[in-house]
Amino acid sequence: MSKLWFDVAHLLAGGMLVLSFALLYQDRIAAVINVFALQAVALSLSVAWQALVQGAPHLMVTAAIALIVKGFVIPTALHHIIRRMQIHREVEEVIGSGLTMLTGLGLVALSILLVQPVGEVSIYVREDLAFALAVILLGLLMMITRRNAVTQVVGFMSLENGLVLAATGAKGMPLVVEISVAFSILIAFIVFGIFVFRIRERFDTVDVRALDRFRGERRDVS
């Protein structure tokens, strides 16, 4: 495997990780969705590159699914949702942006340390796993720190981007699995969409703090 091939894969996967940080950094909902679309494009480029390197044409289908569904369909639908809910101008209050970034850096370090002892696989696979794990953890972090239901959905989708990245690094994921995962993501997205609208109908907001009172966790909701 030549050096340039490795470097380009490194560049694309690293770009996905950087975009995960950009997702954490953004506090405008529309910008978050745009960054997510960009991350999906980076994912599809990365998968397409793997298809070339591994000589596995079925990965091209994965790349196409990622590009069309997550790069265009889901972001467009999310933009539509936030415009219909009139929250497309809102700036979300994120809990301590600096602290979130530092936690994110810690998670990246953790995922590198976790993958390091994997050992006798090629450096190529190991690096891919480290990046994928970091993207997954950052997606989880985003779901935890955000209060808006729409940005939580984006966090979940970004987590799934990490899963696809991990799966393509490991050789020989069957196409059936890939297609079923893609469809389950679409269905999950539809469920989320209906759910967001239901929350909105009942509480007049998509701030998930409003749910806390109903679970009996907090009584002093102002």
Which positions touch other proteins (CB under 8 A)? 3-4, 7-8, 10-11, 14-15, 17-18, 21, 25, 97-98, 101-102, 104-105, 108-109, 112, 115-116, 123, 126-127, 130-131
In the bound complex, what is the minimum distance in angstroms from residue 13's beta carbon to other proteins? Answer: 8
β-bridge mates for residue 148, sequence order: 207
Distance CA 187, CA 193 (A): 10
Q: For residues 52 and 101, which CB has a smaller minimum distance to other proteins in the complex?
A: 101
- Between 65 and 141, name the residue whose CB sits nearer to other proteins: 141
Contacts of 216 (CB under 8 A, 6+ apart): none
Q: How far is the CB of 199 from other proteins (least distance, A)?
A: 30
Residue 212 to residue 221: CA distance in whole angstroms: 8
User: Least distance from C-beta 173 to other proteins, angstroms?
Assistant: 22
Residue 23 or 81: which CB sits closer to other proteins? 23
Comparison of 47 and 132: residue with beta carbon closer to other proteins:
132
33's CB contacts (< 8 A; 6+ apart) are: 75, 78, 79, 82, 154
Residue 23 CB burial class (10 angstroms; 0-12, 13-18, ≥19) = buried
Spatial neighbors of 58 by CB under 8 A, at least 6 apart, are 51, 175, 178
Nearer CB in complex with other proteins: 109/190: 109
User: What values do phi and psi take at 178, rounded to 5?
Assistant: -60, -45
Give least dist CB 7 to other proteins, A. 4
Dig out the tokens for 82 from the structure: 């936030």
Question: Shortest approach of other proteins to residue 210 CB, angstroms?
Answer: 28
CB of 101 to other proteins, least distance (A): 5
| Three-state SS at 28 | strand
φ and ψ of 9, to 5 deg: -60, -45
Cβ closest to other proteins, residue 14 vs residue 193: 14
Residue placing its CB nearer to other proteins in the complex, 105 or 175:
105
The CB-of-62 to other proteins minimum distance in angstroms stands at: 22
Nearest residue to 1 via CA among 54, 42, 47, 46: 54
